[in-house]
Structure 1
């Protein structure tokens, strides 16, 4: 469907941890000519962490091909360079966030006339959030106007009806694969609900009950709703002599990369995160996810965000492995 002509557009929905990244990376590699030192494939991601992870997968899969890949992400402060001094991109594949890609294209550092394939990873998020949507559609139109017949691949574990309607209007020809809502939950991920009377009790339950279990199953990700909650929970657990790390969007890029790498290398077993890592983050040793705060829709006080919930729990039970999810509830969800 992706690898052989005719190269049709594709909108694909699949369970978390089912191999979507491998699928679209193969699609990009199959369309690239390694002998041409020009951009031929672009992948747009919602976060720099996911962009870096996707690049890592691509570099492993293309190890003996001679294909190179550029990361279109905002640099850490120590690596900052004015875009005017940046050399034009000659890598065949570019993976990055929409904001940085727009800057590169606008400043004529990223040529789009030879792009053969454009991938949207976590496409529902890229086309649902207003800022992401405007950047994404702008990149799409720029490539379609300069490159002409460019194949579009949109991948995600969830697609709401609003995004489906938009996709139908924008992508008139192509294949579509959707999963019924009732079939989206991962069969091998057990989900538990723990009722607690207040915020203090949440920490006590984690400390006295869940961590003991978590140490037996592997690594743990604890999802919270806000940056402040990330800091407060981290401080509360470290005071109890638990070794854990935390990540949220306001951290310096270099610090975020350090936290991610230490977790991937197994130096830390517990990672506290906002929804920064809810989508696409892949660490096979994570077998327990704790929803310290249940996800709520943006600009809403109490409307549950079921799609974010599915993405969060998808961090456990990757590629058919068994996983566990504990939901801490002190208000009715």
Structure 2
């Protein structure tokens, strides 16, 4: 387990009767006019606003949950209590202890690393909590399988976004610091344009498009590949996502090496994607956490029925915003870019400090917004689903689903996205609250189905009862009890 990271929180809070800046003198009729201009969208999410796996944390989250294993053969695997039991090189142990500051394997690492590192090096389909140590599992697999004497690509990690490429490459560099193993990525500065020189680095991390280009131009040889990793594998195997490219890449590498080890890692796998993965990667070992255990107990979830869409924004203004200054940081999830812009404009017009992010922004603007939120310059972030996965900010304690997450038909619940959204709060074992704002019969059915799917109650908070909102936050441990 990694040593707990130091958590920093702001000690300054306004008095209990303070209100956020800009709300002191707003007349009721003026506020109503502003609220009426904000339309909570019933449209499908905008293209390009699917979950974006932005930088993840290295901090591990240990939970007393059941780990289900399905083994492909009768090989005996023993759970590892120490990293030394795994037969890792002294150089990799140095990386774990000195660079990563680990003391012993997390629960997921203890169960999955023996499955990966023990001959005959079977493939693995693995699903477990965010922050449980999955990244270390597959980075150790790549580093441990490389022959340092062979100067050719031997391990390939494929990611859905550039941000995740950068994160995984950074972990590889830290873990492999003392090994002498070389690595490169599609996000490296000198590869901004299509690379022409043949790649000799032993580990390569990249996005589908650039890797496919390198392989087609014979810049990246797959002849010596031993390990193929798909991070956020559920996204990579979605029919409407990267599925065709992922399968094509698997087949190409398997043709070059019949003993190729394929590692599929994600925090979530729906049943359709799981079934496909089991067919695509035959004879693989499997590790899964039951879906009802994925809904974190530290995150208290509530539903708020609102008569109209405008009432949703009014709940933000009257019931939630006055509490935000006394909490940590807040993320408000919406379905479309238009809603993100509208809510952001409303809040700013009333003097509230906030920011917003959505898929239509360029990388520079997105990086700025993320940086401001990470360093606490802004405490409230409005976001489409670009930040529903992998975005970790220690001080986030409140998540608000202004729009419930649904599939493209806007009727079927997006269960995995819901799990990832609420998981933005309660990071590193801290407490968190998620409010789901619900309007109309369709959204009522969606929240009921989410509740049933995760087997986790989502009780109601009256939309016009500020005292009950305050009580909810107190019971969750996010505000102080009155003397």
Query: Is the TM value for this pair above 0.5?
Result: yes
What number of residue pairs does the alignment pair up? 328
Report if the CA contact (8 A) 1:224-1:274 is conserved.
yes
User: Could you list the runs of 5+ residues in structure 1 that have no partner in the other structure?
Assistant: none
More strand by percentage: 1
Report if the CA contact (8 A) 1:89-1:110 is conserved.
yes
Report if the CA contact (8 A) 1:17-1:314 is conserved.
no
Residues 82 and 202 of structure 1: CA distance in aligned 2, closer, same or farther (over 3 Å): same
1:102 to 191, 196, 212: 212
Superposed displacement of residue 81, structure 1: 4.8
Superposed displacement of residue 275, structure 1: 1.4
Query: Are 1:310 and 2:419 matched, yes or no?
Result: yes
Task: Give distance in 1, aligned partners of 2:328 and 2:320.
Answer: 12
Residues 202 and 152 of structure 1: CA distance in aligned 2, closer, same or farther (over 3 Å): same
Task: Give distance in 2, aligned partners of 1:236 and 1:308.
Answer: 26
1:327 to 404, 416, 436: 436
Report if the CA contact (8 A) 2:183-2:203 is conserved.
yes
Task: Give distance in 1, aligned partners of 2:191 and 2:366.
Answer: 16
Task: Give distance in 1, aligned partners of 2:223 and 2:268.
Answer: 31
Q: Which residue of 2 aligns with 1:239?
A: 349
1:180 to 287, 290, 294: 290
Correspondence 1:1-333 to 2 at 5 A: 1-34=115-148, 36-72=150-186, 81-83=192-194, 86-298=196-408, 300-331=409-440, 332=444, 333=446
Structure 2-normalised TM-score?
0.62
Task: Give distance in 1, aligned partners of 2:318 and 2:179.
Answer: 51
Q: Which residue of 1 aligns with 2:17?
A: none
The runs of 4+ residues in structure 1 deviating greater than 6 Å are none
Report if the CA contact (8 A) 2:278-2:284 is conserved.
no
Residues 63 and 291 of structure 1: CA distance in aligned 2, closer, same or farther (over 3 Å): farther
**260-269 vs 151-160, greater mean Cα deviation:** 260-269
Residues 283 and 95 of structure 1: CA distance in aligned 2, closer, same or farther (over 3 Å): farther
Task: Give distance in 2, aligned partners of 1:54 and 1:107.
Answer: 25
Larger radius of gyration: 2
Question: CA deviation digits over 1:249-298, x for unaligned, max 9?
Answer: 22212322333333333333322222122222233332222211101112
Task: Give distance in 2, aligned partners of 1:137 and 1:250.
Answer: 29
Task: Give distance in 1, aligned partners of 2:149 and 2:396.
Answer: 39
Task: Give distance in 2, aligned partners of 1:268 and 1:56.
Answer: 27
The DSSP-based 3-state class of the residue aligned with 1:60 is helix
Task: Give distance in 2, aligned partners of 1:89 and 1:260.
Answer: 32
Task: Give distance in 1, aligned partners of 2:286 and 2:334.
Answer: 33
Residues 8 and 320 of structure 1: CA distance in aligned 2, closer, same or farther (over 3 Å): farther
* Coordinate RMSD, CA, aligned: 2.5
Task: Give distance in 1, aligned partners of 2:333 and 2:359.
Answer: 13
Question: CA deviation digits over 1:70-122, x for unaligned, max 9?
Answer: 332599xxx99542x54333433322322222122222222222222111122
Structure 1-normalised TM-score?
0.88
The DSSP-based 3-state class of the residue aligned with 1:128 is coil
Task: Give distance in 2, aligned partners of 1:52 and 1:236.
Answer: 35
Question: CA deviation digits over 1:136-161, x for unaligned, max 9?
Answer: 11111122122432211111222222
The DSSP-based 3-state class of the residue aligned with 1:25 is helix
Report if the CA contact (8 A) 2:127-2:266 is conserved.
yes
**55-64 vs 130-139, greater mean Cα deviation:** 55-64
Residues 31 and 80 of structure 1: CA distance in aligned 2, closer, same or farther (over 3 Å): closer
Residues 51 and 129 of structure 1: CA distance in aligned 2, closer, same or farther (over 3 Å): farther
Task: Give distance in 1, aligned partners of 2:393 and 2:149.
Answer: 34
